[in-house]
Copies of this chain bind each other. A is one copy, B any other.
Amino acid sequence: MDKILRINMGPGGEPTSRTEAVGDYAGLGGRGMTSAIVAKEVPPTCHPLGEDNKLVIAPGLLGGTTGAMSGRGSVGCKSPLTGGIKEANSGGQPAQMLGRLGYAALVLEGKPKDDTLYMIRISSDGVEIKAAPALKMKGNYDTVENLKNEYGDKVSCISIGQAGEMKLASATVAFTDMEQRPARHAARGGVGAVMGAKGVKAIVIDDTGASMRSPKDPEKFKAANRAFVDGLKKHPVTGQGLPAYGTNVLTNVVNEAGAYPTYNFKTGRFDGASAISGETQAETITARGGKATHGCHRGCVIRCSGIWHDKDGHYLTKQPEYETVWSHGGNCGISDLDTIAMLDRLDDDYGVDTIEMGATIGVAMEAGLVEFGDAEGAINLVKEVGKGTPLGRILGSGAAVTGKAFGVERVPVVKNQSMPAYDPRAVQGMGVTYATSTMGADHTAGYAVTANLLGVGGNVDPLTPEGQVELSRNLQYATAAIDATGMCLFVAFAVLDQPETFQAMIDMINSFHGLELTGDDVTALGKKITKMERDFNTAAGFNKTDDRLPDYFRKEALAPHNVTFTVSDDDLDTVFSDL
């Protein structure tokens, strides 16, 4: 993993590729790599869809190794949704394969001279770029089916659906999973629109002939990996809750805590929660012959993903994640898992962020386009996106644009990105993360649900402002570092609670790369990445007024706790005061 593959899409001529040494970017992975390249090479004020933006895809520091949980791939660029720097990451197979082929990063640059749509094949033999007119305006599922037919069932694919081709700000970059389905997504911030603006429909990765990356100290690495896996297995969240019920194990927990945003963030508890909970979901999946416990990439030992079958027992989509179940479910007053699964499938096929899409439908419901709870209405709205109708283009542009088009004041976004499935009034640490993250509202950027609701990594009262800034800050730094390893963020549950598991993770990195990092170095890495991102955003025009929740979270009290967001603006401004 000592080279960077750069593909210039134009406009000076036909697309070209070149491989160069990793150079200054050596030692970086995942979000560390994508953010470093974007921060250094992309002019902060450029148009996100213009030739000066770059789309960077990078495996983590342990990508392509036998290390557990290390298969996530980061996708970075200047975001068409937020206007700031963006890293979204995904499970699935592509990152592992890129790593094994020796690529520390793949960078799409420039802009094609016309509207030709291209596909790229990367293998041990090199790089091939060719026009792919047959894929035009195909969904991700059809696209991957086409590519499988042409390139076989061993390759992995990175692709965009119709939304990416239309350059909509909620467009995702899809990664195929172990079953070669485009069910994992680098979903947030419109990264798919940037891929679309580069004219790239799909990237096929064939690692035939490439071998697993070798650690500097194989024995130490093996031992550390074993200790790490043991740690994950013994922690109740990563060893029991997540495998059994998937991420949707959270529905009952968050709903019980009164922090489950319902009816476009109107109340904190949803009557229909138990019907769409992880428990109900797992039971339904098992009854229909799907899989309730499943890994999204090779090397996963938590196995929180799953496979959802329709009523006839046929594959429909992956097991919808907690945030998807919430966004299309409780947030829209919908309590039917089959509807939610259908929406998940449509989102994945068109290539739109399920969080942004569900939040957008919530705003559309508030505008009166369809009623809250109208399952068929919600499905029809999402189908508009796939058809590319004007309504679909509004919705596919996300909640902020939808709010503008329909004159809605209550739009739950920060930096134009929709809030996920935790009401910031009842999980105030999460509110701090939403407000201040470099990414816009993003639960993964600093998952304060841990200490606020789950008693993981300590206990901080979720309903008061005390301690939230420190909690969010520490989590944001830790997350940036984990996102650089290529590891699934869920390792954090065990890593935060079990010192020996944290040490095992560091030992894995050290033994693999021949380093001697300490815990402090990990925090320092997280701070370094965060600072690069903050600096980019500042240069792009962000300031403290962007680090705020919408006004109404301070004005409207949320039932059942009747609480508003009370972390002060001054306190929000101290989150990164140590950078």
Q: Report the bound CA distance from A552 to B393 in whole Å.
A: 24
B551 touches A540 (CB 8 A): no
Contact with B along A48-65 (1 / 0, CB 8 A): 011010000000000000
| Contact of A551 with B409 at beta-carbon distance under 8 Å, contacts A545-B540, A545-B541 already known | no
Q: A410 — nearest CB in chain B belongs to which residue?
A: B47
Classify the secondary structure of A's interface with B: loop
A50 touches B407 (CB 8 A): no
A548, CB-defined interface residue at 8 Å: yes
Could you say which residues of chain B place their CB within 8 Å of the CB of A404?
80, 169, 397, 401
Could you say which residues of chain B place their CB within 8 Å of the CB of A543?
541, 543
CB-contacts of A385-437 with B (<8 A)? 389-391, 393-394, 397, 401, 404-407, 409
Min distance, Cβ A202 to any Cβ of chain B, angstroms: 19
A546, CB-defined interface residue at 8 Å: yes
Q: A402 — nearest CB in chain B belongs to which residue?
A: B393
Q: A391 — nearest CB in chain B belongs to which residue?
A: B390
A393 touches B405 (CB 8 A): yes
A193 touches B407 (CB 8 A): yes
A49 touches B409 (CB 8 A): yes
| Contact of A45 with B391 at beta-carbon distance under 8 Å, contacts A169-B404, A404-B401, A545-B540 already known | no
A282, CB-defined interface residue at 8 Å: no
Q: Report the bound CA distance from A70 to B397 in whole Å.
A: 44
A451, CB-defined interface residue at 8 Å: no
Contact with B along A441-462 (1 / 0, CB 8 A): 0000000000000000000000
Q: Report the bound CA distance from A45 to B390 in whole Å.
A: 30
B551 touches A50 (CB 8 A): yes
Could you say which residues of chain B place their CB within 8 Å of the CB of A47?
409, 550-552
Q: Report the bound CA distance from A166 to B367 in whole Å.
A: 11
Q: A541 — nearest CB in chain B belongs to which residue?
A: B545
Q: A539 — nearest CB in chain B belongs to which residue?
A: B545
Q: Report the bound CA distance from A231 to B391 in whole Å.
A: 54
Chain A, interface size category, equals 35 or more
A409 touches B540 (CB 8 A): no
Contact with B along A21-55 (1 / 0, CB 8 A): 00000000000000000000001011101101000
Could you say which residues of chain B place their CB within 8 Å of the CB of A332?
none
Could you say which residues of chain B place their CB within 8 Å of the CB of A391?
390
Give the contacting residue for A407; candidates B49, B52, B390, B401; CB below 8 A.
B49
Give the contacting residue for A394; candidates B43, B390, B539, B551; CB below 8 A.
B390
B409 touches A405 (CB 8 A): no
A197, CB-defined interface residue at 8 Å: yes
Could you say which residues of chain B place their CB within 8 Å of the CB of A548?
45
A551 touches B406 (CB 8 A): no
A393 touches B394 (CB 8 A): yes
CB-contacts of A158-172 with B (<8 A)? 166-169
Could you say which residues of chain B place their CB within 8 Å of the CB of A397?
401, 404-405
Min distance, Cβ A22 to any Cβ of chain B, angstroms: 29
B197 touches A407 (CB 8 A): yes
Could you say which residues of chain B place their CB within 8 Å of the CB of A99?
none
A189, CB-defined interface residue at 8 Å: no
Min distance, Cβ A399 to any Cβ of chain B, angstroms: 13
Could you say which residues of chain B place their CB within 8 Å of the CB of A362?
none
Could you say which residues of chain B place their CB within 8 Å of the CB of A92?
none
Min distance, Cβ A402 to any Cβ of chain B, angstroms: 10
CB-contacts of A536-579 with B (<8 A)? 539-541, 543, 545-546, 548, 550-552
Q: Report the bound CA distance from A136 to B28 in whole Å.
A: 60
Could you say which residues of chain B place their CB within 8 Å of the CB of A46?
551
Q: Report the bound CA distance from A397 to B394 in whole Å.
A: 11
Min distance, Cβ A385 to any Cβ of chain B, angstroms: 11
Of all A-B residue pairs in the complex, the 5 with the closest CB atoms, nearest first, are A167-B407, A541-B545, A390-B391, A390-B390, A393-B405
Q: List 7 A-B contacts (CB under 8 A).
A: A49-B407, A50-B409, A50-B552, A166-B407, A390-B405, A397-B405, A541-B546
